[in-house]
Chain A
Amino acid sequence: MTPAQILVVEDNKKNMKLFRDVLQATGYRTLEAMTGEQAVELATEHSPDLVLMDIQLPDIDGIEALGRLRADERTASLPVLALTAQAMEGERERFLAAGFDGYLSKPVNIPDFVATVKRYCEGAIDD
């Protein structure tokens, strides 16, 4: 069985490295996007099992990128989690309302992060 593929959208190189290494060490395949446009492109091309989406990105923000994914029938049903350092009160509700399937705030707790990713990937495979 091919391991699940996860698209990580993150503009900070150190954080990208962290998420990629943790995910790969856990046994997932990863795709990396540094911008929103790139994220939409890669998601459309590869249909990953899960997208971890940063919100504050250099071009289009994560919410708009999500909108584009949802607007395209090829990517409309991809599970997408918000992975953001925007952790002010009410943000979680804002992201869930925007259509994200879940929300992880930075700094992440690695064991929680891994558990969450695993839950969503299994869910995706179950589907």
Chain B
Amino acid sequence: MLPQKTAAGATQRRLLSPADNPLVRAVGRLPAGVHAKLLVAFVGTALLVVALGVLGLRLLGQSNERVETLGTLQERAFAYGKLRSDALHVRLLLGQNIAGDTFTNFPDLYVQRPAAAVLAIDRAITSAVAQIPASTFPDNLGFRPPPDDEIYLRRIRATGEGLSTVMREITEARAAPARVTSAPARLTSLRLRAELLAIDLNQHATELANATTARSDALIAQNASAYTRSRNLLIAAAAGAIVLALLLGFVLSWSLIGPIQRIDTRLAAIASGDFSGHVDVTNRDELGALAANVDRMNDELKRLYKELESASRHKSEFLANMSHELRTPLNAIIGFSQVLREKMVGEVNEKQAEYLDDILSSGNHLLSLINDVLDLSKVEAGQVELEVAPFSLHEALERGVVMVRERATKDGVQVTHTADPDIDLIAGDERRIRQVIFNLLSNAVKFTPAGGSVDVSATQVNGEVRVAVADTGPGIAAEDLERIFEEFQQTEAGLEQLEGTGLGLALSKRLVELHGGRIWVDSESGKGSTFVFTLPVEGTKL
């Protein structure tokens, strides 16, 4: 019978297995070799890494660009700041100048004021104003101002130039003779213009500086959000690449591991004699080819196994039939001989009695042959299954001795049993071991002449039990020592006895070997024989 495994456990395991993922299956079904698939996976992963690198470099480039822009802006903001402070300085100086002339409308007082101090302030204003138009040129700023700034700068320049002109006129007016009547009025008008221009100048410079600072601040804010965006983009891209690479690795490796596991499971099943299934592999690569070959091997083994099973069954049936058919006529042969021999139907003379004995013993011999042939066939067909259980070896030996004692006594042979108290229960098939013991003992009794002796003993040597049957018979020639364990091989003495089947030792050898033991004979012609068999007790001693 083929062992049928329940599919339930396997199905459940398969449902949980990543090898059954539809994507994994689909990759398996791709009509490409394992080499090509691995290459695609590795190249794909490498490309992902390269793409990630390119993206990183681009983001870094953008960030760098923004930093550069910010640097320029801050440089401009600094320059414009200086411009504003210059403008403020002018205005303050002008304010001082005006404050110094608090009583402008009172020429007398003006005249009383020390002219040197007023002139010094005028010079300072002139000098400060002179700075302004000059600083609007690119060479003075250290950079080329953008068009947006130019508008402001032009106004600043124009206002500065206007202020310069007014200041020159003020200086000229002061220099005029103090008694010119129109002088105070003109000076007052010039001062008013100068103050308005200074306010304008300051305002323009402040606007420019503020606009630049605002742009710089905006850029800083933009920079921060751009950094956050770039960082998030990079993290997302990296995470995406990792997920993609993992997915690629997962799908590809399981498209290989899955089939290998299934093939392995199937092979294990085949090894244990289950040929009922096929490998569930849909791959169209080397693994698919392997699975197909495993299936072919499975089918071929299944066919051979069935053939073998059928042949074995036929053999068993044939043996059973043969046994039955041979026993049926033997029943009449032995039965009628016994009826006559037992004188159930009347007296028989001596000669008739002798012949009846011959028929009977031949009939029994034939029966032994049938039994031994059947036993041997079964052992050879592997149909003998040992029923291993602990049993008393001493009892088995004692029973063997009892079974041959009648014949031994009749033949004048003494049978002894030497017991080793260290050995008690051993593991084995008691019936089979008794069969071996009986076979060896009956052989020994059969070949030992009257007055001789047979001794059976058991000893424990190197983890095995040794049973020895020693007789004082004729011994066995050296050339026969191996041969006698083969089927239908008997010694001269055995052939003369006309009662052995030539199968007993062959059968004993196989039964002992089934137990994992050995059997041999120590003998010399004329010096008796000792048949020894061993049974392993390692781990079986109780």
Indicate if B37 sits at the interface (CB-CB under 8 A). no
Ordered by A's residue number, 26 sampled pairs between the chains whose C-beta atoms are within 8 Å are: A12-B328, A12-B332, A15-B331, A18-B331, A18-B332, A18-B336, A18-B339, A19-B335, A21-B339, A21-B344, A25-B339, A56-B324, A85-B327, A85-B331, A86-B320, A86-B323, A87-B323, A87-B327, A106-B328, A107-B327, A107-B363, A108-B331, A108-B335, A110-B338, A110-B339, A111-B342
Apart from A22-B339, A110-B335: 18 A-B pairs, beta carbons within 8 A:
A12-B332, A14-B329, A15-B332, A18-B339, A22-B335, A25-B339, A25-B345, A85-B328, A86-B323, A87-B327, A88-B374, A89-B378, A106-B328, A107-B333, A107-B367, A108-B334, A109-B334, A111-B342
Closest chain B CB from A50 CB (angstroms): 18
Known A-B contacts A15-B328, A86-B320; A25 and B344 likewise in contact (beta carbons under 8 Å): yes
B320 touches A88 (CB 8 A): yes
Indicate if B330 sits at the interface (CB-CB under 8 A). yes
What's the Cα separation between A22 and B342 when bound, in Å? 11
B334 touches A107 (CB 8 A): yes
Quick one: which of B335, B342, B344, B378 has the most chain A CB within 10 A?
B335
Which residues of B are found within 8 Å of A110, using beta-carbon distances? 335, 338-339, 342, 344
What's the Cα separation between A110 and B363 when bound, in Å? 14
Binding site for A on B (CB under 8 A): 319-320, 323-325, 327-336, 338-339, 342, 344-345, 363, 367, 374, 378
B330 touches A107 (CB 8 A): yes
What's the Cα separation between A86 and B323 when bound, in Å? 7
Q: Tell me the chain A residues, 17-51 only, with Cβ under 8 Å from chain B.
A: 18-19, 21-22, 25
What's the Cα separation between A88 and B327 when bound, in Å? 11
Which residues of B are found within 8 Å of A18, using beta-carbon distances? 331-332, 335-336, 339
What's the Cα separation between A108 and B329 when bound, in Å? 11
Quick one: which of A21, A86, A107 has the most chain B CB within 10 A?
A107
Please give the number of chain A residues whose Cβ is less than 8 angstroms from any Cβ of chain B in the complex: 21
**Which residue of A21, A85, A88 is within 8 Å of B345 (Cβ)?**
A21
**Which residue of A14, A15, A21, A85 is within 8 Å of B324 (Cβ)?**
A85
The 4 closest A-B pairs by CB, nearest first: A85-B327, A110-B338, A106-B331, A107-B331
Closest chain A CB from B90 CB (angstroms): 130
Which residues of A are found within 8 Å of B332, using beta-carbon distances? 12, 14-15, 18
Closest chain B CB from A13 CB (angstroms): 9
Closest chain A CB from B344 CB (angstroms): 5
Which residues of B are found within 8 Å of A89, using beta-carbon distances? 378
What's the Cα separation between A109 and B338 when bound, in Å? 8
Which residues of B are found within 8 Å of A85, using beta-carbon distances? 323-325, 327-328, 331
Which residues of B are found within 8 Å of A86, using beta-carbon distances? 320, 323-324
Closest chain B CB from A105 CB (angstroms): 8
A88 touches B338 (CB 8 A): no
> Nearest CB to that of B344 among chain A residues?
A25
What's the Cα separation between A102 and B365 when bound, in Å? 26
What's the Cα separation between A107 and B335 when bound, in Å? 7
Closest chain A CB from B316 CB (angstroms): 9
What's the Cα separation between A70 and B331 when bound, in Å? 28
Which residues of A are found within 8 Å of B363, using beta-carbon distances? 107
Which residues of A are found within 8 Å of B378, using beta-carbon distances? 89
Q: Tell me the chain A residues, 70-109 only, with Cβ under 8 Å from chain B.
A: 85-89, 105-109
What's the Cα separation between A88 and B367 when bound, in Å? 13
Which residues of A are found within 8 Å of B323, using beta-carbon distances? 85-88
What's the Cα separation between A86 and B319 when bound, in Å? 11
Which residues of A are found within 8 Å of B374, using beta-carbon distances? 88
Which residues of B are found within 8 Å of A88, using beta-carbon distances? 319-320, 323, 374
> Nearest CB to that of B341 among chain A residues?
A110
